[in-house]
Chain A
């Protein structure tokens, strides 16, 4: 199934309004595009599928944690493309490959191919969550993994509702940036 800009943008807008089903559909479709994109780009520098999967997940986390920077009146794919490319260049720079191998791209590059064959990434969610401060980890556990509503999570944990929301948001931002650092450390070992 080939996604189009209009479809994805519709899903994103709904997602920004809090529509979880639309948002899940969006991330699922984008993940296929991102996977194909990273496999293609990493193959040029002789890297494998696990690394592509790592980057796909990293990009998804970044998209999620920074979704407030998307302007709904603008097309979605150039925004996604810019994030995907930024994460790729950051990754190549950290692993000391030349980022000169990344050609100029248009937003269509990302939509051109998709790849639904997901594999395990090198990230361990439990271990990642354990690196977070207690408050953030608890909030993410309750709302995102146990699936409690914000109100229920607030009741259960004794935090206020806005505390929960802020902790989830900050937690994802911290996760998104810690995966980049973690990978760096692992590869230097």
Chain B
């Protein structure tokens, strides 16, 4: 085939293209992911005891707010890196910032509590359930978001995959916060932060295979 023939074919009857489609569909995928994870948590795991009392919804809300601090910048970066060359306008340092902030808070809160309380703060009953549930639930938003990003054209697949994993991990954490009763800062930092990091790592490894175009 001659290149001129190809060009002739490609440029016959070109349809107008909506460039805002990409942002909208990633947003929609994240929203679908949130709805799905909240649904799973409510109907499969069940909400935490007394969710509607202040002592329960307030810490749940704080955990969700802290997760949003990571979710919002990482979804902006996800949209950028889904475009060819867009990975150059994403910064790893900025993504690490909320993680660092939570670590600082953890160290502070441990410093100001007696060391006999440390074990209880970190290894409260739910840690194992948390470590298993968040990555497991994250599979749902991960699949939805991966499917959408495959329609785009990322040129750094590992990095884009990492953002998909990061966003999916955050989405899953938001849902899981309605179930989880581990409310201390160290618990959140270690088990939420840790599992979100695991999701990010998984995305980084899977990206080159799943997102290739």
Instruction: Decide whether A and B assemble into one complex.
Output: yes
Q: Which residues of A are in contact with B by a Cβ distance under 8 Å? A: 15-20, 23-24, 27-28, 31, 35, 53, 56-57, 60-62, 64, 66-72, 78-83, 85-86, 90, 118-121, 123-125, 140, 143-145, 147-150, 165, 168-169, 172, 176-177
In the complex, whether B6 has a CB less than 8 A from a CB of chain A is yes
In the complex, whether B128 has a CB less than 8 A from a CB of chain A is no
A60 pairs with B17, CB closer than 8 A: no
B11 pairs with A69, CB closer than 8 A: no
User: Given A20-B12, A79-B83, A144-B12, are A69 and B7 also a contact pair (CB < 8 Å)?
Assistant: no
A121 pairs with B3, CB closer than 8 A: yes
Residues of B within 8 A of A56 (CB): 3
A70 pairs with B14, CB closer than 8 A: no
Q: How far is the CA of A7 from the CA of B18 in the complex (A)?
A: 21
Q: How far is the CA of A150 from the CA of B5 in the complex (A)?
A: 20
Shortest C-beta distance, A64 to chain B (Å), equals: 5
Q: How far is the CA of A120 from the CA of B3 in the complex (A)?
A: 7
A125 pairs with B11, CB closer than 8 A: no
Q: For chain B, what secondary structure do more than half of its interface residues adopt (helix, strand, loop), or is it mixed?
A: loop
Q: How far is the CA of A66 from the CA of B82 in the complex (A)?
A: 11
B84 pairs with A15, CB closer than 8 A: no
Q: Smallest CB-CB separation from B3: which chain A residue? A: A118
Shortest C-beta distance, B151 to chain A (Å), equals: 8
Shortest C-beta distance, A99 to chain B (Å), equals: 12
User: Given A68-B21, A82-B155, are A177 and B13 also a contact pair (CB < 8 Å)?
Assistant: no
Interface size class of B (residues with CB under 8 A): 20 to 34
Within the complex, which residue of B4, B6, B9, B22 is in contact with A68, where a contact is CB–CB below 8 Å?
Answer: B22
User: Given A71-B83, A118-B3, are A20 and B11 also a contact pair (CB < 8 Å)?
Assistant: yes
Shortest C-beta distance, B139 to chain A (Å), equals: 25
Interchain Cβ contacts under 8 Å between A and B, 20 examples: A15-B11, A15-B14, A20-B11, A20-B14, A31-B3, A31-B7, A57-B1, A57-B3, A64-B10, A66-B153, A68-B21, A69-B153, A80-B84, A82-B84, A120-B1, A121-B1, A144-B9, A144-B13, A147-B12, A150-B15
Shortest C-beta distance, B155 to chain A (Å), equals: 4
B2 pairs with A120, CB closer than 8 A: yes
User: Given A68-B18, A79-B83, are A144 and B10 also a contact pair (CB < 8 Å)?
Assistant: yes
B19 pairs with A71, CB closer than 8 A: yes
Residues of A within 8 A of B2 (CB): 118-121
Residues of B within 8 A of A31 (CB): 3, 7
- Give 5 closest A-B pairs by Cβ, nearest first: A82-B85, A82-B84, A24-B11, A18-B16, A66-B153
In the complex, whether B8 has a CB less than 8 A from a CB of chain A is yes
